[in-house]
Amino acid sequence: MVMIDVTYLGELRTEAVHAPSGSKLITDAPIDNHGKGEAFSPTDLVATALGSCMLTIMGIVAARHDWDITGATASIEKTMAAAPSRRIERLTVRLTIPGAGLDDAARHALEKAAHACPVHATLGENVDMPVDIAWT
């Protein structure tokens, strides 16, 4: 279990503290929802969580097989829906993975790992999550 403590700072901003490490982050409401858009919004953090989770799980699989994917990136485009309620409708993920020396079986294992990340599983059918992988 991990504790995260969040404090409302006013003006649609929060500060979150990761209790085990003391790391902090600020959120701000987006411009299109009354905020200043000067920091990640809460829904931006969901998109960020998806990309970093996919890369982390791929990294675990890569390390297990001694494959080097250092420098892999994830770009996530977040699309919001307004009706029937404001929510994340789609998270389009573009993974760029250094694939030199990786055969088809390795690439398949890494792609499977990306789709098996806990954030992807948690969002499940509630959010459309197309994933495109470019091997460089």
Domains of the chain: 4-33 (no CATH), 42-135 (3.30.300.20)
Q: What is the mean pLDDT of the chain?
A: 95
The beta-strand segments (E) located in 49-112 are 73-81, 87-97
pLDDT of the residue at 84: 87
Residue 21 has pLDDT above 80, yes or no: yes
Buried b (16+ CB within 10 A) or exposed e, 15-47: ebeeeeeeeeeebbbbeeeebeeebbbebbebb
pLDDT of the residue at 25: 96
User: What are the backbone dihedrals phi and psi of residue 16, each rounded to the nearest 5 degrees, phi first?
Assistant: -110, 135
User: For 49-100, how does the pLDDT look when each residue is reduced to its tens digit (9 = 90+)?
Assistant: 999 999 999 999 999 999 999 999 999 999 999 888 899 999 999 999 997 7
- What is the Cα–Cα distance from 47 to 129, expressed in whole angstroms? 10
pLDDT of the residue at 119: 97
